[in-house]
Structure 1
């Protein structure tokens, strides 16, 4: 559970901004983000165990961030935890706090979207891919299906990849053979190994990988060309995916904006077909 709050998490991410991290260091950074409040009071050995790395790796990570060792980094983490303070998200009962944290996550996402040009570029990239494979396994599968349901109304060939196993690589290869140039992936905790393997295979096959994931230092960052972060709520028994779902619809809007005439034609054709078949009551 993240005890640091949205502002504290933003400050923690700022520590990593502009620093070239190795895959191992990226794993440590992601561990600190996921355990933001508690990490400030953990030893280097405990952080290493949480991240699944060696203790010397934690020390090298602290030095890569400009500190003379992990104790200095831990002092900095404590400062961030303290200055983050108690905000509106700390008021009310546990359920209210969980919802308010989601509001913070959405507010943070809104701030990231200030660079509208970046999202517009992603929209053009995905709109141009025919077909457009959309990957989401396990907890991410419903988001991939939700995105694909609406995307299919404006894109001629959307292919959902929501099952792992040996057939997943085959379906990626088939999409490439059919002309795909990009892949949209939803990569959410607990990060299925098959998802990361599929991202690696997609890039090896020549696809440009766009990943919607929970953090800029998530494991997906090592296997994606474009990382679009949207925080996941962790205050309930199961994660809340409000911000990633919102970001998915923002990306779909960017796809529509990339080809407005084609989008309008396809939507009108769908509405005509829906009316003829009386699909909806209203």
Structure 2
């Protein structure tokens, strides 16, 4: 369930923009984003417990953001909460969940103003032959969705959606076959195996691109490129509208990186589909 109330998590992210945070401090930042409305009324000890860090770490985090201590940071959080407040009675719970997803898409659209960055990611992923795509647990359906379409324009897409010892084997096999980059879907609640796999991929020399829910998610510690897309948390289970949209944006960038090859492969697929009568329309 969402604990952010009527506050806007992207307002909190502005607090961290341009600040070099340690891994522990990124954990605290991510905790504040995930509990945006409640965090403004929690003590330093309570934030420390939620984030799984020490209370002095919370104080140092506040000072890293330019505040005298946590009380000053909490006052700032309350200001941001009040500034982002909306009418809680606007629509029913289901409508509010959908409107929250619309806001997530609006934030994603704003991030995509830097088209050159996405284009660079597309070129890097297009050049990786094979292209391993990692997604465990909640990330598995998005990895499969992306890979289904990517396989129409990329000659060798390998979905890594099972954990265990075989995951490391498949990473090694991809590297041995010539892979240079890995696309990973890292979504709450952040499977430990996913983060372990990101470390192993980096150690193997792969450039790691992570689609995740926040710039300060745990994936940021292990990825070379972090592409954030907020996850909706207003229903019993998370909504992944923005991450799925971002996945297709990345795929578009891959297509744009090699337009002639993309067109050739799409035409070959359409010819094969027509010959086999795969589709009704």
Query: Contact 1:88 / 1:100 at 8 angstroms: preserved in 2?
Result: no
- 8 Å CA contact 2:7–2:82 kept in 1: the answer is no
TM superposition shift of 1:174: 0.5
* Deviation of the 1:251 alpha carbon: 0.2
Q: CA deviation at 1:8?
A: 2.6
The answer to whether the Cα contact below 8 Å between 2:48 and 2:54 also exists between their aligned partners in 1 is: yes
Residues 243, 17 of structure 1: alpha-carbon distance in 2 compared, 3 angstrom cutoff: same
CA offset at residue 117 of structure 1? Answer: 0.4
Count of aligned pairs between the two proteins = 281
> Alignment partner of 1:135: what SS?
strand
Residue 142 of structure 1 deviates from its aligned partner by: 0.2
1:92 aligns with 2:91: yes
Judged with a 3 Å threshold, the aligned counterparts in structure 2 of structure 1 residues 40 and 88 are, in CA distance, closer, same or farther, namely closer
**Corresponding residue of 2:280:** 281
Matched-pair contact (CA < 8 Å) for 1:208–1:225 = yes
Cα displacement (A) at 1:118: 0.4
The whole-number CA distance in structure 1 between the counterparts of 2:7 and 2:40 is 15
* Change over 3 Å in CA distance of 1:151–1:5 after alignment to 2: farther
In the alignment, structure 1 segments of 5+ residues that lack a partner are none
- Cα separation, 1, equivalents of 2:216 and 2:274: 46
Distance in 1 (alpha carbons) for counterparts of 2:205 and 2:53: 31
Q: Secondary structure at the match of 1:7?
A: coil
Q: Deviations over 1:40-81 (max 9, x none)?
A: 000111101100111111111111111111111000000000
Q: Secondary structure at the match of 1:88?
A: coil
For 1:133, the equivalent position in structure 2 comes to 132
Further displaced range: 55-64 or 130-139? 55-64
> Are the aligned partners of 1:4 and 1:84 in contact in 2 as well (CA < 8 Å)?
no
Residue 37 of structure 1 deviates from its aligned partner by: 0.4
Contact kept, 8 Å, 2:6 with 2:86, in 1: the verdict is: no
| The 10-residue stretch of structure 1 (236-245 or 54-63) with the greater mean CA deviation from structure 2 | 54-63
TM-score between both structures, scaled by the size of structure 1: 0.97
**Deviation for aligned residue 1:84:** 1.0
Residues 200-279 of structure 1 mapped to structure 2, 5 A cutoff: 200-279=199-278
Runs of 4+ in 1 over 2 A off after TM superposition: 1-8
Deviates more, 1:255-264 or 1:4-13: 4-13
Residue 9 (structure 1) shift: 1.6
Spell out, residue by residue over 1:160-186, the C-alpha distance to the aligned partner (whole angstroms, 9 max, x if none). 000000111111010000000000000
Gaps of 5+ in 2: none
CA contact under 8 A between 1:6 and 1:104: conserved in structure 2?
A: no
- Is contact 2:39-2:77 (8 Å) kept? yes
Q: Which residue of 1 aligns with 2:15?
A: 15
Q: Distance in 1 between matches of 2:85 and 2:6?
A: 11
Q: 1:10: Cα distance to partner?
A: 1.7
Given that 1:214 and 1:229 are in contact with CA atoms closer than 8 Å, whether structure 2 keeps it comes out as yes
Residues 133, 183 of structure 1: 8 Å contact kept: yes
CA shift digits 1:190-248 (9 cap, x unpaired): 00000000000000000000000000000000000000000000000000000000000
Residues of 2 paired with 1:161 and 1:62: CA distance?
38
Structure 1 match to 2:152: 153
The answer to whether the 8 A contact 2:26-2:217 is kept is: yes
Q: Does structure 2 conserve the Cα–Cα contact (< 8 Å) formed by 1:44 and 1:58? A: yes
Change (3 A) 1:87 1:263: farther
Query: Which SS does the other structure have where 1:6 is aligned?
Result: coil
| CA RMSD, 1 decimal | 1.4
